[in-house]
Amino acid sequence: MKFRQTVRVAGIVTAGLLGVAATAAPASAATVNWKKLDPNIGMFCEQPISHVTYPGVVFQGCMVVNANDDAQIVMVVINQGPKAVNIGGWTSSQFGSNVTCADSVLNPNIEVACFGPTVHVPEDGRTYNNSVHLTVNGSTKIAPAPSVSN
Protein backbone atom coordinates (compact mmCIF):
# COMPACT_ATOMS: atom_id res chain seq x y z
CA MET A 1 0.00 0.00 0.00
CA LYS A 2 1.38 3.41 -0.93
CA PHE A 3 0.74 6.75 0.70
CA ARG A 4 0.91 9.81 -1.52
CA GLN A 5 1.06 12.33 1.32
CA THR A 6 3.92 12.76 3.75
CA VAL A 7 3.82 10.16 6.51
CA ARG A 8 3.79 11.70 9.98
CA VAL A 9 3.72 10.31 13.50
CA ALA A 10 0.50 10.96 15.45
CA GLY A 11 0.60 13.96 17.75
CA ILE A 12 -0.63 17.48 17.45
CA VAL A 13 1.40 20.64 17.19
CA THR A 14 0.23 24.06 16.15
CA ALA A 15 0.38 24.56 12.40
CA GLY A 16 -0.78 26.96 9.68
CA LEU A 17 -4.37 27.52 8.66
CA LEU A 18 -6.20 25.80 5.84
CA GLY A 19 -9.12 27.42 3.97
CA VAL A 20 -12.60 27.04 5.41
CA ALA A 21 -15.15 25.00 3.51
CA ALA A 22 -18.35 23.29 4.62
CA THR A 23 -19.96 20.35 2.91
CA ALA A 24 -22.58 17.86 3.92
CA ALA A 25 -21.62 14.72 5.80
CA PRO A 26 -21.87 11.49 3.83
CA ALA A 27 -25.49 10.29 3.91
CA SER A 28 -24.57 6.66 4.60
CA ALA A 29 -22.09 7.31 7.40
CA ALA A 30 -22.76 5.91 10.86
CA THR A 31 -22.40 8.17 13.91
CA VAL A 32 -19.70 7.33 16.46
CA ASN A 33 -18.57 8.86 19.74
CA TRP A 34 -15.19 10.45 20.32
CA LYS A 35 -12.58 8.33 22.09
CA LYS A 36 -9.44 9.15 24.00
CA LEU A 37 -6.46 8.62 21.74
CA ASP A 38 -4.14 5.73 22.51
CA PRO A 39 -0.64 7.17 22.03
CA ASN A 40 0.67 3.72 21.08
CA ILE A 41 -1.52 3.32 18.00
CA GLY A 42 0.46 3.57 14.78
CA MET A 43 -1.02 6.23 12.50
CA PHE A 44 0.06 8.14 9.43
CA CYS A 45 -1.03 11.78 9.81
CA GLU A 46 -1.12 15.01 7.87
CA GLN A 47 0.10 18.26 9.39
CA PRO A 48 -2.20 19.47 12.18
CA ILE A 49 -4.02 22.77 11.72
CA SER A 50 -5.74 25.27 14.00
CA HIS A 51 -9.48 25.73 13.65
CA VAL A 52 -10.19 29.27 12.38
CA THR A 53 -13.18 29.80 14.70
CA TYR A 54 -11.31 28.79 17.85
CA PRO A 55 -7.53 28.69 17.26
CA GLY A 56 -6.95 26.81 20.53
CA VAL A 57 -8.54 23.77 18.89
CA VAL A 58 -6.05 21.91 16.70
CA PHE A 59 -6.93 18.93 14.51
CA GLN A 60 -5.51 16.62 11.87
CA GLY A 61 -6.49 13.81 9.52
CA CYS A 62 -4.81 10.45 10.05
CA MET A 63 -4.98 6.89 8.75
CA VAL A 64 -4.47 3.51 10.39
CA VAL A 65 -3.59 0.56 8.12
CA ASN A 66 -3.06 -3.14 8.73
CA ALA A 67 -1.20 -5.93 6.97
CA ASN A 68 -4.37 -6.97 5.05
CA ASP A 69 -4.52 -3.62 3.21
CA ASP A 70 -7.45 -2.50 5.35
CA ALA A 71 -7.50 1.14 6.46
CA GLN A 72 -9.51 3.63 8.47
CA ILE A 73 -9.58 7.42 8.54
CA VAL A 74 -9.17 9.07 11.95
CA MET A 75 -9.76 12.67 12.99
CA VAL A 76 -7.61 13.71 15.98
CA VAL A 77 -8.56 16.85 17.94
CA ILE A 78 -7.02 18.59 20.96
CA ASN A 79 -8.36 21.61 22.82
CA GLN A 80 -5.38 23.73 23.83
CA GLY A 81 -7.61 26.69 24.70
CA PRO A 82 -8.76 27.85 28.14
CA LYS A 83 -12.44 26.81 27.84
CA ALA A 84 -14.64 24.00 26.62
CA VAL A 85 -15.96 23.97 23.03
CA ASN A 86 -18.69 22.06 21.20
CA ILE A 87 -17.31 19.74 18.52
CA GLY A 88 -18.67 17.40 15.87
CA GLY A 89 -17.79 16.50 12.31
CA TRP A 90 -17.14 13.65 9.91
CA THR A 91 -14.52 11.79 7.91
CA SER A 92 -14.69 11.64 4.13
CA SER A 93 -12.93 8.80 2.33
CA GLN A 94 -12.96 7.81 -1.32
CA PHE A 95 -12.49 4.16 -0.28
CA GLY A 96 -15.42 4.13 2.17
CA SER A 97 -14.04 4.87 5.65
CA ASN A 98 -16.78 7.45 6.27
CA VAL A 99 -18.25 8.26 9.66
CA THR A 100 -20.13 11.06 11.40
CA CYS A 101 -18.46 12.13 14.65
CA ALA A 102 -21.04 12.77 17.38
CA ASP A 103 -21.62 16.25 18.76
CA SER A 104 -19.76 16.53 22.05
CA VAL A 105 -18.16 18.96 24.50
CA LEU A 106 -14.34 19.03 24.40
CA ASN A 107 -12.78 20.35 27.59
CA PRO A 108 -9.40 22.11 27.73
CA ASN A 109 -6.24 19.99 27.46
CA ILE A 110 -8.12 16.93 26.23
CA GLU A 111 -7.19 15.00 23.06
CA VAL A 112 -9.82 12.83 21.36
CA ALA A 113 -10.19 10.88 18.13
CA CYS A 114 -13.07 9.91 15.87
CA PHE A 115 -12.45 6.61 14.03
CA GLY A 116 -13.98 5.77 10.68
CA PRO A 117 -14.76 2.14 9.92
CA THR A 118 -11.97 -0.20 8.86
CA VAL A 119 -12.41 -0.87 5.14
CA HIS A 120 -10.37 -2.84 2.60
CA VAL A 121 -8.55 -0.57 0.14
CA PRO A 122 -9.25 -1.91 -3.37
CA GLU A 123 -6.28 -3.24 -5.31
CA ASP A 124 -7.01 -1.21 -8.44
CA GLY A 125 -4.02 1.17 -8.58
CA ARG A 126 -6.21 4.23 -7.97
CA THR A 127 -5.23 6.91 -5.48
CA TYR A 128 -7.94 7.50 -2.88
CA ASN A 129 -8.05 11.00 -1.38
CA ASN A 130 -9.46 11.56 2.11
CA SER A 131 -10.31 14.40 4.46
CA VAL A 132 -11.68 15.21 7.91
CA HIS A 133 -14.25 17.90 8.67
CA LEU A 134 -14.32 19.42 12.17
CA THR A 135 -17.16 21.61 13.43
CA VAL A 136 -16.32 23.83 16.42
CA ASN A 137 -19.09 25.93 17.93
CA GLY A 138 -21.05 25.67 14.67
CA SER A 139 -18.22 26.47 12.20
CA THR A 140 -16.79 23.69 9.99
CA LYS A 141 -13.21 23.46 8.71
CA ILE A 142 -11.63 20.80 6.48
CA ALA A 143 -8.20 19.18 6.82
CA PRO A 144 -6.62 16.58 4.55
CA ALA A 145 -6.11 12.99 5.66
CA PRO A 146 -3.42 10.81 4.03
CA SER A 147 -4.19 9.56 0.53
CA VAL A 148 -3.69 5.89 -0.20
CA SER A 149 -3.38 3.57 -3.20
CA ASN A 150 -3.07 -0.19 -3.40
Residue 89 has pLDDT above 50, yes or no: yes
For 37-75, the pLDDT digits (tens) are 887 788 999 999 999 888 899 999 999 999 999 999 999
- Domain covering 2-18+27-149, topology: Immunoglobulin-like (2.60.40)
Q: What is the pLDDT of residue 46?
A: 97
pLDDT, greater one: 121 or 19:
121
Q: What is the pLDDT of residue 1?
A: 57
DSSP reduced 3-state for 131 = strand
Buried b (16+ CB within 10 A) or exposed e, 52-68: ebbebbbbbbbbbbeee
| Residue 49 and residue 16 in contact, taking contact as beta carbons nearer than 8 Å | yes
| Residue 76 and residue 63 in contact, taking contact as beta carbons nearer than 8 Å | no
Whole-structure pTM value = 0.81
Q: What is the pLDDT of residue 13?
A: 27
The ranges assigned to domains in the chain are: 2-18+27-149
Residue 86 has pLDDT above 80, yes or no: yes
**Weakest-pLDDT range from 3-12, 20-29, 77-86:** 3-12
